[in-house]
Structure 1
Amino acid sequence: MRPLTDGAELLVGRDSELSWLVAWIREVGAGRGVAVLVDGEPGIGKSALVRTACAAATDAGCQVYWGAGDELGQALPLLPLLDALRITPAARDPRRVAISKLLRGGAVAGKGADLAARAAEQLIALVDELSQDGPAVLVVDELQWADRTTVAVWSRLARAVRQLPLLLIGVLRPIPRRDDLRSLFRIVGPGERLRLGRLAEPAVLELVAELAGGKPGAELARLAAGAAGNPLYLTELLDALTRSSCLQVDPAGIAELTGAATPDSLPEAIADRLGFLPEPARGVLRAAALLGVGFSVADLVTVTNTPVADLLPALDEARAAGVLVAAGDDLEFRHPLIRTALYDDMPTAVRIAWHQGAAWALAEANAPVERVARQLLPMVSTTDSRVPVPAWAVRWLLDVATPLIGQAPGVAVALLRRAVRDAPLDDAVTGALACRLADAYFGVGNVAQAERIADRALDRVRDPDVRVDLYTTVVQCRAMTGRSAEFLNELNHALTQPGLQPRHRARLLVLIARTHRYIGEVDTADRVATEALEELGPVEDRWATGWALHVLSLVAMVRGDWAGALPLFERAMAVVRGDPALIDLTLQLRINQSVTFGALDRYPEAHAAAAQARELADRTGSVVRLSEAQSALGQLLLGAGRWDDALAEVDVVADDRKDPGVVCCDHGVAAIIHFHRGETAAAREHLDVAAKYWERIGDRVVESLVRARSLAFEYAGAPERALAVLTAVLAGEDAGEDLLGDAVRLATTIGDLRTATDVEARVHALADGSAVPHLGALALYCRGLLDRDGTTLLRAADGYRDAGRPLSRAKALEAAAIAFAKAKEEDRGSARAAFTHAVDLYAELGAQWDVARLRALFRAFGIRRGPTVKHRQATHGWDSLTPTEGRIAALVVEGLSNPQIAARLYLSPRTVGTHVSHILNKLGVHSRIDIAREAARHQSASG
């Protein structure tokens, strides 16, 4: 029989599938990326097929990265990608070092930090950078065992693969098929799926001939037919026959059986191979099986407490027997089923004991958190609840709880829950364990259980530091469930407890202030936050100081004291800057600062603050804050008239990763733009998506969505219903200024002067004494509408021009034109001038619905517009690119990656990716290389 050499695999009967993979490799070499799924039953040859293709990719000059899911490790995030991209503590390049440090707890970002999501963002950027170094192939084998974060990263890469010279391959079995795995088959087109079936009879006979070293005789062919066309079974079967001397090749080159002792199944065939090994080698392999399909020799040395020199004979025997193969600097089982056979052969109690020993050895060696946790998980997953958590593991859990919760909160829940159960009731560590368990439940989104555990722990714990931490968890949980007011009495009572130091009291006061702010009691929130700062005095506590200033800044925003909020932001950011535990607070401060600058019409500073928040959120992987920063930018860009850029910001983060209010806001922005552009179907699609989230945001007013819903009725010719949408929210204190202006416009249009007068009075009170340009313009606009005074409306248009709000300016010019046209002493010249300026502004924005509507209205007046100003109308080709897209396309031509472009233009890599997708679609091309080719063609055509 042909021997199995280290890593060599026979590939027979897969010429068609291999040709597809080789063709895709050529495509990647030409700069056109593709995502591919390869699926089939265990042992059918999926990995052998892809490895053969990867060898061809290496020969073609491609970089190849290979990682694999593992049934034991599926609770821990990103392991297949970390292995594939060589993310280890020994990594040297900055991106890999940052990812490794992040997941090892070196950059913890406080309670609720999602380290896995942050690492995922860094991994995507790393893949982008690696692809810019040359064509790349990234394989995730055994994808059905990968964790959900890995699948999410694979999904995002698949969506963006056209932008990269990347062949992305997922290899998986038909079952188990989770929902997130099913979604991959919707992302990857039918033409990029390879399903491997069982080998046909000719291929079976060819494989048997290769393995046996001769043409199979009738009896051998009959036996091989029982393998059901499974290459792994055939390989194991022929190997077993060879070991038992039941196979020989006669002088005529016919391979035939000489005995009948053959395995009846694939597991039996694998067991036969393992049974052939001496016991010392099998003992080493059992220890290796604890570590997973792939493992490092260093870890094997640690868990066996055996010098590497003493392990080498057993490892060499295992490699010679075809059980282990080399995997870069590590080793792996030749097939996952071989490892499974070894693992399942151990009795459960023995297996758990071995796992505990391995965990202890790895922890003593300061191994990464996820490697130790992986060995402890079987202990808590067993149906035998009598298995206790060892004392050393409890101490280890307390030391690593925060990074473990951030990296894998589900794993933390499982381990901490058992540790809390086993700890003595009077043990001092019980409270600390419960505190971390509550954090872990909060991390997995089980807010109710997090609150229950924290409440119970508060009844027992006396340590002030732990109690304040528990109170923080409860406050967060109550805020998320709308029950903040219920906890105020307990927080106030906590202030009376003995033994509190100033920093404890300050932190409790901050929690009380935040609670009052949650329930809308801004005056009390202001007073208590100020008291917290006074309580600290000379004591330095960055958490308490930063959060107290944050509450004060929010109070100022709610009161409309935008100018007063700015110095509070600066003070708070000076306090929290550089503290990794306060990154989330830093992001909130920067986002709110952006909103404040926008409210003051300081658009350059608003954009800069939002861009800084976006960059920090993207770099640290804070998806929730990233979506909020993107949303703030989208609203700013809407107001500034940069509508294409606003739409790009809306698309950056998937809806299911956003707060429901942010989803509603983003789709409201998009719907407003599409309605003004006359793109009704797209606008209504955004409203339909927002409607799914509307009920989840409670009483919050989302201004952009309210505007969009009102605009939908106006678009349909129902101004009364459009006004009703606005008046339904005008009673609230947080009704936006744009809503007030539209309400007066609609009310005067339908003759509802009472509503128009009431709203105008409210606007006048807002603008009285204010130096903010748009507030003065709004007051003039509303007064001009009520008085039908064209001159006042022109002054409003000038104010909106100074404020940098082109859509509002166009509306004021339109109203002025109508007022002049309808005046008793008709002023056709002024009407025509205002009408012409309004149409030009609408056209510059691409607001074709407004252009058509206004032209129809003034045809009825018998007024024609002045000279036509040309505007960009192209929807495809180079001339259709927006200024931002044009700049990004030029940098793509220079060969910059998305992260590099993002750094150059102060954008998020996600935003750059969205723009690049739009560029590809507008140019009708398939890759970055094609963009460069189109750029050269456009430059040549334009001389």
Structure 2
Amino acid sequence: MRPLTDGSELLVGRDDELSRLAAWIREAVQGRGRAVLVDGEPGIGKSALVRASVAVAEEAGCQVFWGAGDELGQALPLLPLLDALRIAPVTRDPRRDAIAELLGGEAVAGKGADLAAAAAEQLIALVDELCQAGPAVLVVDELQWADRTTVAVWARIARSVRRLPLLLVGVLRPVPRRDDLRSLFRVVPPAERLRLGRLAEPAALELVAELAGGRPGTRLEELAAGAAGNPLYLTELLDALSRSSCVEVDPAGVAELTGTATPDSLPEAIADRLGFLSEAARTVLRAAALLGDGFSVADLVTVTNSSLADLMPALDEARAAGVLVAAGDDLAFRHTLIRRALYDEMPTAVRIAWHQSAAWALAEARAPVERVARQLLPMVSTTDSRVPVPAWAVKWLLDVATPLIGQAPVAAVALLRRAVRDAPLDDAVTGALACRLADAYYRVGNVAQAERIACRALDRVRDPDVVVDLHTTVVQCHGMTGRSAESLATLNEALEQPGLEARHRARLLVLIARTHRDLGEVDTAGRVATAALAELGAVEDRWATGWALHVLSLVAMMRGDWTGALPLFERAMVIVRGDPALIDLTLLLRINQSVTFGALDRYTDALAAAGRARELADRTGSAVRLNQVQSALGQLLLGAGRWDDALAEVDVVPDERKDPSVVCCDHGVAAIIHFHRGETAAALKHLEIAEPYSERIGDRVVEPLVRARCLAFEHAGVPEQALSVLTDVLTGEDAGEDLLGDAARLATAIGDRGTAAEIEARARAIADGSTVPHRLALALYCRGLLEQDPTALLRAADGYRDAGRPLSRAKALEAAAFAFASAEAEDRGPARAAFTHAVDLYAELDAQWDVARLRAQFRVFGIRRGPTAKHRQATHGWDSLTPTEGKIAALVVEGLSNPQIGGRLYLSPRTVGTHVSHILTKLGVNSRIDIAREAGRNQTASG
């Protein structure tokens, strides 16, 4: 008889599945990754199969990472991946440190920071970095119990796994099957799914023979048949028989059943195993069961209030009995069903009391927030609503509310909701709890409930600090639902409350100013923000001062006073620097500063400021601001002519995680580029995607989207409608300068001199007294178009060159060429020279639509030019790579990781990853190693 007391598992009847996994591991070693799903009923041998393949991977030199979901941890994001990648509170790896700090609440993060989203981004980057170090296998077992964030990250890695030397494995049961889990089966093709069925009779008997130490006799065969081919049941059944000495092997090697008392079910077989343990061991194991399928021995020491020496006899006994197995530096139950049996045998009231005691012990030991919350959650999920939140837990919740909401808002809602219910109605603590609960509801997207709780709390809260926080939440809710105007009456009423200090009045004025700005009431926003600063006088309040200066900088930007906005940014950043509560404002200031630098044609400064903002957003967990800075980068790269990089930035973040205005902006940028490149279907697809988001932002002008819509009509051959798109939005002082040039061009083309003259006057007024190159160029461009003055147009082209705006320069040269050609002069030289320069600029941008349009237009003047140098005519192969993709491919060949490449080219690692994916697709290869091979072949072929 061979009892499996060491936690090992026999693998029988799974040769085909193991061979497929081994083949996929070999491909990962060669750089061709893939994602695999293994599913089947509990005990069917999924984990055993994958563990056997992991042994193959380790022999092949792969790094192996293994984590598992469990039922108790579903409300706490990313635990299986954190476990797999060994993210601990104290680590030495910078990326792991950043993740540990985010989820431990130690990172500098402002209110509203989405810590789980930030950690997810860091985890994806960490996986990428680990794969640069060598081939890897990443397993998430019990995926059906994983939280939604873990499932989403698994899916994101699965979508990009082809470019990594990674075998990504998800192991799950058929039920429960949530919608997000079902979506994984759309991500993973059928050929890469392994569904394990019950063992066929020959394999089941082979397993019994291995376990019993001999060929099963008749009675043992009959008993094994009752296990229905489930390997776990067979293993537990044979182990139970072994413990009872009910199996004997005769001299002929036949194993036969000698007793009559046999387990009737798998739970009974497991209970039989546990029944052989001493009561001391069972007590320790019950405490371990509270911690999950896998657990830290240090945590077990904490919750049992015992020393490690006192626990070791029980742990050794449990390991000898096959209940516990080693899991790296920690321990785990050999199977989740064993832990479940121990957990369920405790009465509910006793179990809740144990959880509370464990939570208190972990909190006193300053354990990470998620470990304490995990012990408190069963208390609020029980059907017995009489279980109160202990007083210590209420205090703990108030202390950790911000990181808990950032990391696990769903868990925060559950705990804070019960704490609010149990706190005394007249207690000031209730108001603070309600304030945090409203914030948590806002974070999970339940805006209506967040608003209700915040408004109800405002009726009874008297603490001015909490009142301002509650008003902030209400203002955010109104903004999300398009009801910003409703906030004004409430805020103005709050200003009239007696006993307010200057800093509280200033904070309320700042909220009022921000609301007016959101409503487009620029002058009023500026006046109220100035009043907020005056209210403070000599009183120091960094929050109110910083936000008031931020509103004033926005007002300056909306008025086109970009030069005046810069000192406001500098002044505000001095105020907020180093304040953890003002991280969100710091990010806004840096993002808007980068936009302002771009508007002043200081592209180097703009990209540097955007890079700093992106790094800070990534590090501190502000997913919203990260999306905004990516969008700002896309616009800057569009203006600077780095179109391939701009397109890559658009693809970095999924639309559902962006603000509607950001979605409109990003797809507008992409559509502009595709229209100019003659890729009309792709451009129209981007406009189609943006349309529902555009409806959600109302009358707000998103310049890239307006420009894209204008181009759509130009492509359709209706320039009058294209001009109408522009003139409809060219009202008010915040209308964009970039739209004026296109409006002047279209008005001139259709002979609408009245509109052209109005635009020229407006451009002249903008340039008056300005030293910004593109503003001066705009005035010259509009005048040159109106007067058909080629000299003015050439000067405009020079101005756009100085501004670093190649598309605008090409348009000015095109207009100059047309003006020269239309002058009926015998010398076509100036027209031909301007035409040639314009074509070259369009070709460098790969603006093939403009190249074709320009050539057709100038044939009537007898101006022709032979084909330009071949510019990405190919759609596949090395010649199809863009200049940026060529640079990245060369750095891949050097062996640089995505973060290292990003550092060289001033791109984010995610953007580099997008480029690498495009390179793999164009080359028709699967891995970075293949890119190096293709590079070698290309060099050989070219000589």
* TM-score relative to the length of structure 2: 0.96
Q: Tell whether 2:80 aligns with 1:80.
A: yes
Residue matched to 1:630: 630
Question: What secondary structure, in the 3-state scheme, does the structure 1 residue paired with 2:413 have?
Answer: helix
Q: CA RMSD for the aligned pairs?
A: 2.2
Secondary structure of 1:138's counterpart equals: strand
Q: Check the 8 A contact 2:65/2:84 in 1, yes or no.
A: yes
Write the mapping of 1:253-402 to structure 2, written as runs, cut at 5 A: 253-402=253-402
- Conserved? CA contact 1:820–1:826, under 8 Å: no
Higher mean displacement: 824-833 or 274-283 = 824-833
Match of 2:739 in 1: 739
Moved more, 584-593 or 467-476: 467-476
Distance (whole Å) between structure 2 residues aligned to residue 288 and residue 18 of structure 1: 32
Task: Tell me by how many angstroms 1:564 deviates.
Answer: 0.2
CA deviation digits over 1:277-314, x for unaligned, max 9?
33332222222111110112222222222333332232
1:401 CA drift (Å): 1.0
CA distance in 1, matches of 2:671, 2:66: 43
Partners of 2:129 and 2:837 lie apart in 1 by 47
Distance 1:774 1:92, change over 3 A: closer
| Aligned equivalent of 1:613 | 613
Q: Deviations over 1:886-920 (max 9, x none)?
A: 33333323322222322343321111111221222
Question: Offset of 1:360 from its aligned partner?
Answer: 1.6
8 Å Cα contact 2:560/2:734 also seen in 1 = no
The one-letter amino acid of 1:150's match is T
d(CA) in 2 for partners of 1:176, 1:192? 21
Amino acid in the other structure paired with 1:304: T
How far residue 802 of structure 1 moved from its aligned partner, in angstroms, is: 2.4
In the alignment, what sits opposite 2:512?
A: 512
Distance in 2 (CA, whole Å) between partners of 1:866 and 1:905 is: 34
Number of the residue aligned with 1:884: 884
Contact 2:747 2:756 in 1 (8 A): yes
2:780 aligned with 1:780, yes or no? yes
8 Å CA contact retained: 1:631, 1:662: yes
Match of 1:522 in 2: 522
Structure 2 distance, partners of 1:158, 1:682, is 25
For residues 288-345 of structure 1, the C-alpha deviation after alignment (integer angstroms, 9 at most, x for no partner) is: 1111101122222222223333322322222222221111121111111111222222
**How far apart are residue 11 of structure 1 and its match?**
0.5
Instruction: Specify whether residues 868 and 926 from structure 1 end up closer, same or farther in structure 2 by C-alpha distance, changes over 3 A only.
Output: closer
Cα distance in 2 between the residues matched to 1:831 and 1:899: 47
> AA paired with 1:11?
L
The 3-state SS of whatever aligns with 1:838 is: helix
Contact 2:108 2:620 in 1 (8 A): no
The residue number in structure 2 matching 1:800 is 800
Q: What's the CA shift for 1:742?
A: 2.0
Indicate the residue corresponding to 1:895 in structure 2. Answer: 895
Alignment of structure 1 residues 718-797 onto 2, 5 Å: 718-797=718-797
Quick one: which amino acid aligns to residue 901 of structure 1?
A: I
Shift of 1:825: 5.4
The answer on whether the counterparts of 2:113 and 2:620 sit within 8 Å (CA) in structure 1 is: no
Kindly indicate whether the alpha-carbon contact (under 8 Å) linking 1:618 and 1:908 is maintained by their aligned counterparts in 2.
no
In the alignment, what sits opposite 2:220? 220
Decide whether the 8 Å contact of 1:70 with 1:145 is kept in 2: yes
Deviations 1:906-941 (A, max 9, x none): 321111111221222233322122223333444455
Q: Is the 8 A contact 2:113 2:621 kept in 1?
A: no
- Offset at residue 433 of structure 1 (A): 1.0
Contact 1:510–1:547 (CA<8 Å) still a contact in 2?
A: yes
Q: CA deviation at 1:3?
A: 1.1
CA contact (8 A) 1:774 1:799 kept: yes
Identity percentage over the alignment?
Answer: 84
Does the residue aligned with 1:340 lie in a helix, a strand or coil?
helix
Partner of 1:56: 56
SS at match of 2:652: coil
Which residue does 1:476 correspond to in 2? Answer: 476
Match of 2:671 in 1: 671
Structure 2 residues not aligned, in runs of 5+: none
> Which has the larger displacement, 73-82 or 470-479?
470-479
Asked whether the equivalents of residues 634 and 646 of structure 2 are also in contact (C-alpha less than 8 Å), the reply is yes
Name the aligned partner's letter for residue 90 of structure 1.
V
Indicate how the Cα distance of structure 1 residues 626 and 16 shifts in structure 2: closer, same or farther if over 3 A, else same: same
Residue number in structure 2 paired with 1:811: 811
Give the 3-state SS of the residue equivalent to 1:651 in structure 2: helix
- 2:408 corresponds in structure 1 to 408
Offset at 1:806? Answer: 1.6
Amino acid at match of 1:783: R
Is residue 159 from structure 1 mapped to residue 159 from structure 2 by the alignment? yes
Structure 2: how far apart are the matches of 1:662 and 1:673? 17
Preserved contact between residue 103 and residue 115 of structure 1 (Cα < 8 Å): yes
The answer to whether 1:531 aligns with 2:534 is no
Counterpart for residue 137 of structure 2: 137
Q: Distance in 2 between matches of 1:627 and 1:145?
A: 29
Checking the alignment, whether the CA contact within 8 Å between 2:109 and 2:621 is kept in structure 1 is: no
Which letter maps to 2:469? D
**What corresponds to 1:423 in structure 2?**
423
8 Å contact kept, 1:888–1:901: yes
Q: Per-residue CA shift, 1:89-140, capped at 9, x if unaligned? A: 2323333222222211112412211111112222223223322333222111
Query: Shift of residue 152 of structure 1?
Result: 2.0
For 2:913, the equivalent position in structure 1 comes to 913
Which amino acid counterpart does residue 376 of structure 1 have in structure 2? L
- On the 8 A contact 2:98/2:619 being kept in 1, the answer is no
Amino acid at match of 1:110: G
Of residues 66-75 and 747-756 in structure 1, the stretch that sits farther from structure 2 once superposed is 747-756
- Structure 2 contact 872–882 (Cα < 8 Å) conserved: no
Which is further off, 633-642 or 298-307? 298-307
Compared CA separation, residues 912 and 579, structure 1 to 2 (3 A): farther
Structure 1 counterpart of 2:710:
710
Q: Which residue of 2 aligns with 1:432?
A: 432
Q: In the TM superposition, what are the counterparts of 1:846-865 in structure 2 within 5 Å?
A: 846-865=846-865
Deviation of the 1:565 alpha carbon:
0.2
The secondary structure found in structure 1 opposite 2:170 is strand
Contact 1:833 1:865 in 2 (8 A): no
Counterpart contact for 2:205–2:221, Cα < 8 Å: yes
Structure 2 residue aligned with 1:459 = 459
Query: What displacement does 1:384 show?
Result: 1.5
> Partner letter of residue 442 of structure 1?
Y
Partners of 2:44 and 2:196 within 8 A in 1? yes
Partner amino acid for 1:404?
Answer: L
Distance in 1 (alpha carbons) for counterparts of 2:513 and 2:718: 45
Q: Work out the CA distance in 1 between the residues paired with 2:71 and 2:409.
A: 18
Report the counterpart of residue 575 of structure 2 in structure 1: 575
Q: Specify the code of the residue in structure 2 equivalent to 1:549.
A: L
1:532/1:548 contact within 8 Å kept: yes
Whole-Å separation in 1 of the counterparts to 2:872 and 2:316: 70
> What amino acid sits opposite 2:166 in the alignment?
L
**What is the match of residue 69 of structure 2?**
69
Structure 1 residues 890 and 864 mapped into 2: Cα distance closer, same or farther (>3 Å)? closer
Any idea what SS the aligned residue of 1:861 has?
coil
For 1:785 and 1:437, locate their aligned partners in 2 and report how far apart those are by CA, in whole Å.
59
* AA aligned opposite 1:522: V
Distance in 1 (CA, whole Å) between partners of 2:854 and 2:882 is: 25
Question: Aligned equivalents of 2:824 and 2:896: distance in 1?
Answer: 62
Q: CA deviation at 1:509?
A: 2.5
CA distance in 1, matches of 2:665, 2:491: 34
- The one-letter code of the counterpart of 1:88 is A
Number of aligned residue pairs: give it.
943
SS at match of 1:460: coil
Gaps of 5+ in 1: none
1:639 is aligned to: 639
Q: Structure 1 residue 86: deviation in Å?
A: 1.5
- Within 1, Cα distance between the matches of 2:646 and 2:826? 40
Q: Structure 1: how far apart are the matches of 2:4 and 2:224?
A: 18
- State the distance in 2 between where 1:636 and 1:94 align: 30
Name the amino acid aligned to 1:558: M
Using the TM superposition, give the Cα deviation of residue 711 of structure 1 relative to its aligned residue in structure 2, in angstroms: 1.1
Return the offset for 1:260.
4.1
Partner of residue 172, structure 1: 172
